[in-house]
Structure 1
Amino acid sequence: MNKTWWKEAVVYQIYPRSFQDSNGDGIGDLNGIRQRLDYLKRLGIDVIWLSPVCQSPNDDNGYDISNYQDIMNEFGSMKDFDDLLREAHEKGIKILLDLVVNHTSDEHSWFLESRKGRENPYRDYYIWKEGKEDGGCPNNWGSCFSGSAWEYDSQTQMYYLHLFSKKQPDLNWENPKVRDEVFEMMDWWCEKGIDGFRMDVISMISKDQAFPDGEVKDGLYGDFTPYSIHGPRVHEYLKEMNRRVLSKYDLMTVGETAGVTIEEAKKYAGEAQEELNMVFHFEHVESDGELGKWTDQKPNLLKLKQILSKWQIELENSAWNSLYWDNHDQPRAVSRFGNDSSEFRELSAKMLATCLHMMKGTPYIYQGEELGMTNYPFSDISQFQDIESKNAYEELVGGGHTSQERMMEYLRCKSRDNARTPMQWNDKEQAGFTNGIPWLAVNPNFKEINADQQIEDPASVFSYYKKLIALRKKYDVIVYGDYELILPEDTRVFAYIRSLGKERILVICNFTEQEVSVTIPEIDRIEEKEYLIHNYKGKSSMHQGILKPYEAAAIYWKKK
């Protein structure tokens, strides 16, 4: 494995709309991020991943781009972006841009031209198809956001494909002109000085050109994934992207690759593949409820260990892992994988951080995760802004698949809006996020959970994350060491060993609110050991085989 800066980096994801408002309109912006750079520097992170900031009508909160080379009005101007990039670089922080090129907004100039007529030069920038003989959609594919993946356009009497919202038409990557446009745009941003790209649903850019019907699993629509994820030319396109753009700069690249397998990940991110640096897989955050992702069941630890360990072991010496618990599309980590009660929130937040940050790969922190921010106590569908949540409620409750009460429980557990509530900076009005009315309500627990209370407190979740980041910079074994799962059948404890040369680290995490008895021979055999980090005050009783509720530690020693 080659040593590189992006393997050693810790990334902090910012959802700009919810991070910091600088002008009182209730919406976070680029100048707000600039105001908080010192906070991020203090935490110790190396890279900011900015969720989309390009011009957008905001049908899907910026993931529907209408101009790739301009900034969303609500977020500021291109000068504001340039100032943010410059100031971040001055503080030693790199900027990763969100690249959304599977689709554009239907308000993008390319699409406005494309829908004007069948002979328009931009027609083939998108995927247009005739309807079936009965006038129905070209096939039975369903959209990720409910309903059909096809929208009828009366102007030219054809359908266009949108795997997400109908305001997000898919680009036709088969057309070399589309690729030229995308690569020129990427080059423009790289010349501006950005440090890399997180690539939105990049595994979906190549479609099976036969566009066959998909299997109908639930409801009315067919599954498009066998024909649109890891499609026939996706690796060809990414190699071309790498050759024409990425290889010319010292960039960090991570692809969002839903449905990715280990073998596919090696193609996307293998050291010799010349495509991407790493990918996001979703196995550990996917749900198997009766209604797909909509469930209130807690994750199964045995399954979680198997999935994360599989990725650790099978990518060893061939591709690089990205490590995360949550992001803008996932509920809050401490509410989902830990325990957000007042008694156990801090302990379990620290435990989850220990478990993740001691693994091999590049860790991603989602804004507020370093404070132990929690899911929001939603009580009514009117409180949601997220298009996915609102559409699912309408489809599942309106269609009689579940009750209003059950669906609200599912949304409280899984809605994307849980992650999008404003950052909690202090205990003053609107948690210091804005002096206006926030676009999405602030979590009412901001008086107990906020940055101001934690920054100076050595026992806080923030200080714990700060220490974890510092340890990663100090010990090569954390970044580059091999991984070995121990206690694989234990349903309560996640434990593993990292090793590099003579260095060893034992990581042990109790995922329950009960005291657990556990036998770890490794601990007893070590004469000279050091607790690098431990989430309880005082001495641990691990050497007696006892783990307290949500107890976690990383223990270091050198083999003789």
Structure 2
Amino acid sequence: MTVTERVWWKDGTVYQIYPASYKDSTGDGLGDIPGIISKIDYIKDLGVDIVWLSPMYESPQYDMGYDISNYEAVHAPYGTVADVEALISDCHSRGIRLILDLVINHTSDQHAWFKESRTSKMNAKRDWYIWRPARYGAEGRRMPPNNWRSFFSGSAWQWDEETQEYYLHLFAEQQPDLNWENPVTRKAIYDSAIEFWLKKGVDGFRVDTVNMYSKPPGLPDAPISDPGVFEQPASMLFCNGPRMHEFLREMNQLVLNKYDTMTVGELPHTPDTAHVLRYIGSNDRQLDMVFQFDIVDLGQGKTNKYQFEGYALSDLKAVVEKWQSFIAGTDAWTTAFCENHDQGRSVSRYASDLPQWRERSAKMLALMMCAMTGTLFVYQGQEIGMINAPKDWSIEDYKDIESINYYNSAVARSGNDPAVRDHVMKSIQILGRDHARLPMQWDATAYSGFTTNKNGAWMRTHDEYKSINVASQLNKSDSVLNFWKKMLSLRKEYKDLFIHGSFKGFDMTNEKTFVFAKAFGKDKAIVVCNFTAEEQKFERPGVNGKFELLISNVEGVDGTESVLKGYEGRVYLVN
């Protein structure tokens, strides 16, 4: 494949759906596959080309479906395999592709494979997971095999009383890690998790935690970066292990290459662009593209994400420039996104969710994102400008295991210090994964039209659903929803420039505005965004040609104005 070869997953826009929170068709308070099917025409009308469905597999739901107990079955409240087949068919009949979430670093502890693995040290599936004997400290105290910290707080090791060994879980204790060193295990994963669904017509996968399958030999201790506790962050050890690239090549050779698929990998803790390029070069097919999390990680604490430290606009600009530019002159491809199921809402994170600025902020971010190089990913509700949960919600209103575990552990470590409790809560109010998981806001009826259940949805509905919903925006020409539709249409119309063009930033230390150019051949565009509520002076960058305003998120602007209004965004074509 050459640098310029066009394939469907490059030019397409992806719309991510979180099944629990999209649309409830049965009245049980939980979203489901038939609910998604009922909204296919809405999705088509939005102007997207690919739907990414977050995990819908059979699961005990300790981690919202990322703990899978059967890859070949569907979580019963969501529907059936036949429902997913109907969704595939309905998407394809409208020219939309469907990709699934591929979660193969770990399974649920309720998966038949793990149940068998834990029955005995002699069981044939014992080596399908990562088991180790205890080590012993002072006074013969039993300790985990190493000091790795789980992403969900506490040790990454769980003691199993029955067989007197520990098993590794980088995430929740209910999510034991699979042993990718075992070729029999790998073959089972390929057959059950991947090919089963490709045979049913899915078009690819978003690959969860794609760089964690290969653990370092000997599973050494992590360096001490958080003094005072035994468990330490260890991502520098278990991410990008020695056999990672080998495993991904094998996955392609044995399964994916038989189908016309796309793969997008979740690639955390990999800041080195040269290493990222090793994963996504098209001549050595491992992944088609990856998510780089620097933009959504902005402001996170160094030892835990929920120690929010804030960031400057120049930090955001540097991140965008790095990942927009790193594929230049290569055979690789990139992604553009600022929301997903694990992040706070972009309007609340990067702009302003105050009532007077919310809509304009949402449109400015839409304008900026639609001008980005790479495959664009839009998360459900982003298209109507959904925002973070209100600040007066208590920790009891949150559901996510990551937020709750960290809140409880941090408060306990501090002896219930009010200052610590308040800071953790403020961090969760910005970064919590639950913000993206609130029920989709369809209309102003009870529970935002998401469910008919008289007791409400599985999770509290946002207080602002009456003012932020699809129904109120569908026929309003200047709504956030219709602005997104317009921007996605322009992105397709000028796809050479926006999807495939090169990126150049201007005045990158400016903490108020973000100005960048896109270029493809002789075609050029200038994108201008004011990230403040105050008016900002706008000086056109030194780009030769006549500036013609393509679009603005403020009514009545003709493009000649030298001042940007609060949260104003513009795109100029330069002829």
- With structure 1 as the length reference, what TM-score do the two structures score? 0.97
Quote the residue 1:418 is aligned against: 435
The answer to whether the 8 Å contact 2:372/2:498 transfers is: yes
Query: Which region of structure 1 is more displaced relative to structure 2, 375-384 or 304-313?
Result: 375-384
Q: % of aligned pairs identical? A: 41
Supply the distance in 2 between the matched residues of 1:28 and 1:307 (Cα, whole angstroms).
Answer: 34
1:197 matched to 2:211: no
Quote the residue 2:346 is aligned against: 333
- Aligned to 1:266, which of 256, 277, 300? 277
The answer to whether the 8 Å contact 2:536/2:564 transfers is: yes
Quote the residue 1:31 is aligned against: 34
The answer to whether the 8 Å contact 1:8/1:472 transfers is: no
Quote the residue 1:451 is aligned against: 470
Question: Relative to structure 1, is the Cα distance of residues 297 and 533 closer, same or farther in structure 2, using a 3 angstrom cutoff?
Answer: farther
Pairwise CA RMSD of aligned residues? Answer: 1.4
Q: Secondary structure at the match of 1:331?
A: coil
Supply the distance in 1 between the matched residues of 2:190 and 2:295 (Cα, whole angstroms).
Answer: 32
Quote the residue 1:538 is aligned against: 556
Query: Which region of structure 1 is more displaced relative to structure 2, 118-127 or 487-496?
Result: 487-496
What's the CA shift string for 1:397-427, capped at 9, x where partnerless?
Answer: 1211753333222211111111100000000
The answer to whether the 8 Å contact 1:18/1:27 transfers is: yes
The answer to whether the 8 Å contact 1:299/1:336 transfers is: no
User: How do 1:344-423 and structure 2 match up within 5 A?
Assistant: 344-377=357-390, 378-400=392-414, 402-423=419-440
Supply the distance in 1 between the matched residues of 2:362 and 2:310 (Cα, whole angstroms).
Answer: 16
- Aligned to 1:505, which of 525, 530, 533? 525
- Aligned to 2:143, which of 136, 140, 144? 136
Supply the distance in 2 between the matched residues of 1:51 and 1:504 (Cα, whole angstroms).
Answer: 36
What's the CA shift string for 1:85-114, capped at 9, x where partnerless?
Answer: 111111111111000000000000000000
1:167 matched to 2:185: no
What's the CA shift string for 1:78-137, capped at 9, x where partnerless?
Answer: 111111111111111111100000000000000000000011000000000011134211
Supply the distance in 1 between the matched residues of 2:127 and 2:9 (Cα, whole angstroms).
Answer: 37
Structure 1 position 522, deviation (Å): 4.0
Quote the residue 2:113 is aligned against: 110
Structure 1 position 521, deviation (Å): 3.9
What's the CA shift string for 1:499-538, capped at 9, x where partnerless?
Answer: 1111111111111111111322447x533x4322210001
Supply the distance in 2 between the matched residues of 1:152 and 1:472 (Cα, whole angstroms).
Answer: 52
Structure 1 position 299, deviation (Å): 3.3
Opposite residue 123 of structure 2, the aligned amino acid is N
Quote the residue 1:146 is aligned against: 153
Opposite residue 384 of structure 1, the aligned amino acid is Y
Structure 1 position 244, deviation (Å): 0.9
Q: Secondary structure at the match of 1:310?
A: helix
Q: Secondary structure at the match of 1:204?
A: coil
Question: Relative to structure 1, is the Cα distance of residues 109 and 477 closer, same or farther in structure 2, using a 3 angstrom cutoff?
Answer: same
Quote the residue 1:496 is aligned against: 516
The answer to whether the 8 Å contact 2:526/2:573 transfers is: yes
Supply the distance in 2 between the matched residues of 1:18 and 1:104 (Cα, whole angstroms).
Answer: 22
The answer to whether the 8 Å contact 1:299/1:337 transfers is: no
The answer to whether the 8 Å contact 1:131/1:138 transfers is: yes
The answer to whether the 8 Å contact 1:295/1:414 transfers is: no
Opposite residue 231 of structure 2, the aligned amino acid is Y
Opposite residue 361 of structure 2, the aligned amino acid is S
Supply the distance in 2 between the matched residues of 1:191 and 1:174 (Cα, whole angstroms).
Answer: 26
Supply the distance in 1 between the matched residues of 2:428 and 2:526 (Cα, whole angstroms).
Answer: 37
Structure 1 position 145, deviation (Å): 0.1
Supply the distance in 1 between the matched residues of 2:184 and 2:474 (Cα, whole angstroms).
Answer: 50
User: How do 1:217-366 and structure 2 match up within 5 A?
Assistant: 217-218=225-226, 219-260=229-270, 261-286=272-297, 287-289=299-301, 292-318=304-330, 319-366=332-379
The answer to whether the 8 Å contact 2:53/2:100 transfers is: yes
Quote the residue 1:13 is aligned against: 16
Quote the residue 1:214 is aligned against: 222
The answer to whether the 8 Å contact 1:31/1:76 transfers is: yes
Opposite residue 347 of structure 1, the aligned amino acid is R
Quote the residue 2:567 is aligned against: 550
1:96 matched to 2:99: yes
Query: Which region of structure 1 is more displaced relative to structure 2, 119-128 or 288-297?
Result: 288-297
What's the CA shift string for 1:323-362, capped at 9, x where partnerless?
Answer: 1111110001100011000110011111111112101011
Question: Relative to structure 1, is the Cα distance of residues 502 and 546 closer, same or farther in structure 2, using a 3 angstrom cutoff?
Answer: same
Query: Which region of structure 1 is more displaced relative to structure 2, 281-290 or 228-237?
Result: 281-290
Supply the distance in 1 between the matched residues of 2:223 and 2:519 (Cα, whole angstroms).
Answer: 45
Structure 1 position 548, deviation (Å): 1.0
The answer to whether the 8 Å contact 2:152/2:406 transfers is: yes
Supply the distance in 1 between the matched residues of 2:561 and 2:497 (Cα, whole angstroms).
Answer: 26
Please, which runs of 5 or more residues in structure 2 have no aligned partner?
A: none
- Aligned to 1:441, which of 443, 454, 460? 460
The answer to whether the 8 Å contact 1:379/1:408 transfers is: no
Supply the distance in 1 between the matched residues of 2:307 and 2:223 (Cα, whole angstroms).
Answer: 22
Query: Which region of structure 1 is more displaced relative to structure 2, 118-127 or 406-415?
Result: 406-415
